[in-house]
Structure 1
Amino acid sequence: MLTSRQQSILRLIIQNFTQTGSPVGSKKLMEEGIDVSSATIRNEMKALEDLGLLQKTHSSSGRIPSLLGYRYYVDHLLQPSRVNQREIQKIRRSFQGEFHELNEIMKQSVDILSDLTSYTALSLGPDVKNRRLTGFRIVPLNRRQVVAILVTDKENVESQVFEIPASVSGADLEKVVRILNDKLVGEPLTTVYQKLHTEMPIFLRKYFQTPDGILTLVDTMLGRAFEEKVFVGGRMNFVDFEPAQDVSQFKLMYTLLKDPEGLTQLLIPVDQGIQIRIGDELGNELFSNMSLIQASYQIDGHGTGTIALLGPTNMQYSRLFSLVDAFRHELAAKVADYYKSLDETGGWNQ
C-alpha cells in the first residue's frame, strides 16, 4: 500500500514523463509541489523503485515509470482530463459527411482518431449476430473468376473476387445462386452459418454429382459475411513509438496490423466502458512496450461496437482516456443516425 506522498510522487513522475519523455528527478518534483527535502524525495523514489513501480535508465537520480508503475497509475491515480473542444468539433465535422455504408463510418472513425493522436486506431462495428442475409449474387469477370456479392440488412454490401474451381461450370454457379437465395436469404446470419455447415452440404449433394468444389466455393464466399472486420487507421504511426526497433520486429508488427484475425484477438470483449491494457496484458510480445485503450459503445437493436487506440506505454493516459471516451459517444451517435436513416428510407430492403 503506497502512502499518499508516494502516490503523489508516482503520479507526477508519470505525468511529467509522458509529456516530456525525460527521466524525472527530485528537483522537478519539488517544483511540482512535493513539499519535502530532495533527500526525502530520493528516498521515496528508491522505495517506489524497490516496489517495481519506477526504474532508472542510467546513473542519474531521475526515474521513469515501469510497466507495473503505469498499471498502478491507471488503476488508482488516473484522473481524466477535460477534452479539448477543438478536438470535439473536429470529430463532429469529420462525421458530417454522407455515408452510404457502415464500413465507411468505421473507416472514417479510425482515420479521425489516428489523426488526432498520431497513434494507431482500431475500430470494430456492431456485432454480426443480429444481421440477416438479404441477397446473394455472382457476377462473372472472365472464364475462371467471379465477383460474389453479399447483401446483409445491417452491413450493406460485401464483395470479393474468387477463382472458380475447374470442376465448377457456369451452369453450376447459376444453380448455386438459386439454391442459396431460396434457402438462406432472409435468415439471420447465425442461422445461415449453421445451415452452411449442416443442411447445405447434404442439400447440395443432391444437385451436384461432384459437390466438393461447390461446397468449398460456397463456404469461402459466404464466410465473408461472418468476418468481424477490424478497421485500422495510422498503421504506420507505430514506427514512431520506438524509433530504435529492429527491422524484423517492424515487419512482424506491420503484418499483424494487416491480419483481421490477429486484430480481432487483440480486441477482447469489453463491458460498457473503457479498458486500458499495458504491455504483456495485450497477449503478444510484439506489443510488450505498448498500451491499448479500448472502449465499447452500444447501439440499441444493433449490438456493440468497439473503438481502440494503440500507442506507446508512455502515452498521456489522462488526456487519451477522456478523448477515447468522448470519441466513442460521437461515433455511437453517428452509427445510430445511420441505422435510423436506413429505417426511415427502407434501406434494409434495397
Structure 2
Amino acid sequence: MLTDRQLDILYLIIKIYTETDAPVGSKTLMNEGIQASSATIRNDMGVLEELGFIEKTHSSSGRIPSVKGYRFYVDHLLKPTDVASQDRLEIRRAFAREFHAINDIVETAASILSDLTSYTAFSLGPEVKERKLTGFRLIPLNHQQVMTIIVTDKGNVESQVFSIPQDMSSEDLEKVVKIINDKLVGQPLITVYNKLRTEIPLVLQRYFHTPSSVMHFFDSVMAQAFEDRIFVSGKMNILDYDSLTDMSEFKSIYSLMDDEEAITSLIIPSHGDISIRIGEELENDLLENMSLMTASYEVNGHGKGTIALLGPTNMSYARMFGLLDVFRYEVADQLSDYYRSLESPH
C-alpha cells in the first residue's frame, strides 16, 4: 500500500518525465511541491523502485517510470487535462469542409489526430454491418478484366478491377449480375454475408457448370462491400520515438501499419469508451516499447467507429486522454451530419 506522498511522487515523476523526457530527482520533486526533505523523498523513491514502479537510468541519479508504473498511473492516478482552445479550433477548422463520402471523414479524422499529437493515428468508420447494399454494377474492360462498382446506402462506393476466370463467359458474368441484383441488392450487409454462405452457393450450382470457380469470383467481388477501411496517418512519426533505436525495427513496424487486418484487430477497444494498453499488453513484440490509446464513438443508428493513437510509453497520457475524449464526439457529430444530409431530400 503506497502512502499519499509516495502516490504524489509517482504521479509527479510520470508527469515531469512525459513532459521533459528527463530523469527526475529528489530536488526537482521538492521544487514541484513535495513537502519533505531530499532524504525522505529519496527513501520514498527507493520504495517505488523496489515495487517496480520506477527505475534508475545509467546516466543520471534521477528516476524514470517503468511500464508497471505507467500502468498503475493510468489505472489509479490519471487526471485527463482539458483540451486547449487552440486544439479545439484546429479540429473544427480541419473538419470545416465539404465531404463526399464517409471514408473522407474517417480519413480526415486520422490526419487531424496525427497532426495534433505527432503520434501515429488510426481511424475506423462505423460498423459495416449497419449498411445496406443498394447498387451493383459490373463493367467489362476487356476480355480478361471487369470493373465492379458496389454502393451502400451510407455513402460508401467501392470500385475494383478483377480478372475474369478463364472458364467464365460474358453470359456467365451477366448471370452473376442478375443473381446479385435479384438476391442481394437492397439487403443489409449482414444478410448479404449470410446469404453468401448459405443460399448463394446453391443458386450457383443451378446456374453454372463450374460453380466453385464462379463462387471464388463471387466472393472476391462481394468482399469489397465488407471492407472495414482503416486509415493510418503519421506513420513516419514512429521515427521520433526515443524507444525506437533500430532501423530494422522501424521497417517492421512501418510494414505492420499496412496490414489492415492486424491493425483492425489491434485497435478494437477491449473495454470501455477509451482504453489504454501498454507494452506487452499489445501482444506484439514490435510494440513492446509503445502504448496504444483507443477510443470508440457511436453514430446514432449507424453503429460504432474507432480512433486510436500509437505512441511511446512515455506519451502524455493526461493530454491524449482528454484530446481523444473530445475528438471522438467531434468525429461522431461530423458523421451524423453527413448521414442526415444523405437522408434529407435534395
Length-normalised TM-score, structure 2: 0.97
RMSD value, Cα: 1.4
Q: CA deviation at 1:271?
A: 5.2
AA matched with 1:114 = S
AA matched with 2:330 = E
Q: CA deviation at 1:237?
A: 1.1
Residues 119-141 of structure 1: CA distance to partner in whole angstroms, max 9, x if unpaired?
01111111112211111111222
Q: CA deviation at 1:176?
A: 0.6
Matched, 1:148 2:162: no
CA distance in 1, matches of 2:105, 2:164: 32
Q: CA deviation at 1:270?
A: 4.9
Matched, 1:76 2:76: yes
Q: CA deviation at 1:61?
A: 2.1
Q: CA deviation at 1:268?
A: 2.5
1:117 aligns with 117
AA matched with 2:204 = L
1:10 aligns with 10
SS in 2 for 1:147: strand
Between the two proteins, what is the percent identity of the paired residues? 58
Q: CA deviation at 1:252?
A: 1.6
Q: CA deviation at 1:272?
A: 5.3
AA matched with 1:44 = D
Q: CA deviation at 1:194?
A: 0.9
Structure 1 residue runs without a partner (length 5+):
none
Structure 2 residue runs without a partner (length 5+):
none
2:259 aligns with 259
Residue correspondence of structure 1 range 51-90 to structure 2 within 5 A: 51-58=51-58, 60-90=60-90
2:160 aligns with 160
Q: CA deviation at 1:228?
A: 1.9
CA distance in 1, matches of 2:345, 2:307: 28
CA distance in 1, matches of 2:233, 2:244: 22
Please tell me whether the aligned partners of residues 272 and 298 of structure 1 are also in contact (alpha carbons under 8 angstroms). Answer: no
Please tell me whether the aligned partners of residues 271 and 296 of structure 1 are also in contact (alpha carbons under 8 angstroms). Answer: no
1:205 aligns with 205
SS in 2 for 1:135: strand
Q: CA deviation at 1:235?
A: 1.6
1:310 aligns with 310
1:293 aligns with 293
Q: CA deviation at 1:212?
A: 2.0
| Residue range with higher mean Cα deviation, 115-124 or 152-161 | 152-161
Q: CA deviation at 1:156?
A: 1.9
1:193 aligns with 193
Please tell me whether the aligned partners of residues 131 and 155 of structure 1 are also in contact (alpha carbons under 8 angstroms). Answer: no
AA matched with 1:277 = R
Residues 150-178 of structure 1: CA distance to partner in whole angstroms, max 9, x if unpaired?
11112420111212111112221122111
1:182 aligns with 182
1:225 aligns with 225
Q: Matched residue pairs, number?
A: 346
2:46 aligns with 46
AA matched with 1:124 = L
Please tell me whether the aligned partners of residues 269 and 295 of structure 2 are also in contact (alpha carbons under 8 angstroms). Answer: no
Residues 210-267 of structure 1: CA distance to partner in whole angstroms, max 9, x if unpaired?
2222110110111121222211111221121147532332222111111110011101
AA matched with 2:15 = Q
Residues 265-311 of structure 1: CA distance to partner in whole angstroms, max 9, x if unpaired?
10134555211111111121111111111111111111111111111
Please tell me whether the aligned partners of residues 268 and 306 of structure 2 are also in contact (alpha carbons under 8 angstroms). Answer: no
Change (3 A) 1:304 1:224: same
1:328 aligns with 328
